[in-house]
Amino acid sequence: MTEIPNSRHSAFQVLTGWLSLPASARLGVGPAIAALVLVIIVLASVFAPLYVPYDPLAMNAMSRLRPPSDEFLLGTDPYGRDIFSRVMIGGRVSLLIGVGAAVVSVAVGLIIGLVAGFFRAADGIIMRIMDSLMAIPAILLAIALVALNGPSLGSVIIAITVPEVPRVVRLVRSVVLSAREEPYVEAAIALGSSMPKILIQHLMPNTFAPLIVQGTYICASAILIEAILSFLGAGVSTEIPTWGNIMAEGRSYFQIKPGLIFWPGLLLSLCILCINLLGDTARDLLDPRMKKREG
């Protein structure tokens, strides 16, 4: 967007400028560890197909419920499938759902929120629809949406997205409502800037910082909701392993094969813990008002 020569600013300075970050912003030790753990989990999941020893779907009646060994790192499940392969491949889908739901709900919420915040005529109608969506419990709504669209990956992402959108809309709308009263926005009106230009160039950048924070929380909760949906049998079909449906299947074998729940559960918890920790860090950096006073 900025074509005006900007030579004396590095990309980092421009980024911190856009997010109104203090120049001295630094990552603490806790968040750094969280970032490291998260990066390892993400890389391990993304590149899982390259290194997992077995096809996660290949059943083998000869090797059911094997204990961990050199052959099967974490043992096998009741159908003789390698748990390690399944958990790593399953992470791919779980993370995809988390990131996908976060991106889609932030994008959709941003557009609706901008419109609601800027056009007073649209505001009343949009916000009442959002209120009614928020009145329905998220899980219930998600189950209904999956039931409606069938248990595919896309429909699960949509099912998780829809209940999250109103929250994003409200956030964006509130930012726009306060930003549009800023004199620089009024100056832009006086300078004859068109409504779309004001909306996109002046108002939208104000929403980025809170949206990054909100996005991380949605990502974490989406991974969790996917697991819940799978556990309830309303998630992605069992042909695609996810942390959620691996745990769901392992439920009845918990007594003899706790690893079926333990390993995907551990990765899921770690993942959510790290994402939330990074979200908190982002919030502290981007919104100094929320930060606890030091000392």
Partner 1 sequence: MQFKTRDFSTASRVLKIRKLEVGLAGRPRAEKVLKGIDLDIRAGETHCLVGESGSGKSVTSLATMGLLPKDALEVQGGLIDLEGFEITSATHAQMRELRAQRIAMIFQEPMTALNPVLRVGEQIEEVLNMHTDLSQAEAKKRTLDIMDQVHLPDVQRIYSAFPHQLSGGQRQRIMIAMALVLDPDLLIADEPTTALDVTTQLQILRLIEEMQERHGTAVLFITHDMGVVAEIADTVSVMQKGEIVESAPIRELLTNPQQDYTRKLLTAVPNLKPRPARVVAEKAAVLDVTGLDMTYGGSGWLRRSEGVHAARDVTFDIAPGRTLGIVGESGSGKSTVARCIMRLIDPTGGEVTVAGTEISRLSRRQLQPHRKHFQIVFQDPYRSLNPRWTVARSLCEGPINFGTPKAEAMKHAAELMELVHLPTDALDRYPHQFSGGQRQRIAIARAVAMKPDLLVADEAVSALDVSVQAQVLDLLDDVQERFGIAMLFITHDLRVAAQICDDVVVMQKGAVVEQGPAGAVLSNPRHDYTRSLIEAAPGRHWDFANFRALDRAPAAQGATS
**Interacting residues toward partner 1 by CB under 8 A:** 2-9, 17-18, 20, 182-184, 186-195, 197, 202, 205, 294-295
The token pair that represents 14 in the structure block: 């421009």
Exposure of 111 by Cβ count < 10 A (0-12 exposed, 13-18 middle, 19+ buried)? Answer: middle
Find the helix or strand (DSSP H, E) in which 9 lies: none
Least spacing, CB of residue 2 vs partner 1, in Å: 7
Amino acid found at 295: G
Instruction: Supply 19's token pair.
Output: 């997010």
Residue 109 beta carbon to partner 1: minimum distance, rounded to whole angstroms: 21
**Cα dihedral value 116, 169, 280, 265, nearest 10:** -170
- Which residue's CB is nearer to partner 1, number 9 or number 251? 9
Beta bridge mates, 76 = 82
Nearest distance from C-beta of residue 20 to partner 1, angstroms: 7
Compute the distance between CA of residue 220 and CA of residue 59 in angstroms, rounded to an integer: 31
| Residue 4 or 62 with smaller CB distance to partner 1 | 4
Give the nearer residue to partner 1 in terms of CB position, either 26 or 293: 293
| Least gap, CB of 25 to partner 1 (angstroms) | 15
How many Å apart are CA 105 and CA 99, to the nearest integer?
A: 10
Of 201 and 269, CB closest to partner 1:
201
Q: How far is the CB of 127 from partner 1 (least distance, A)?
A: 15
Q: Which is nearer to partner 1, 70 or 294 (CB)?
A: 294
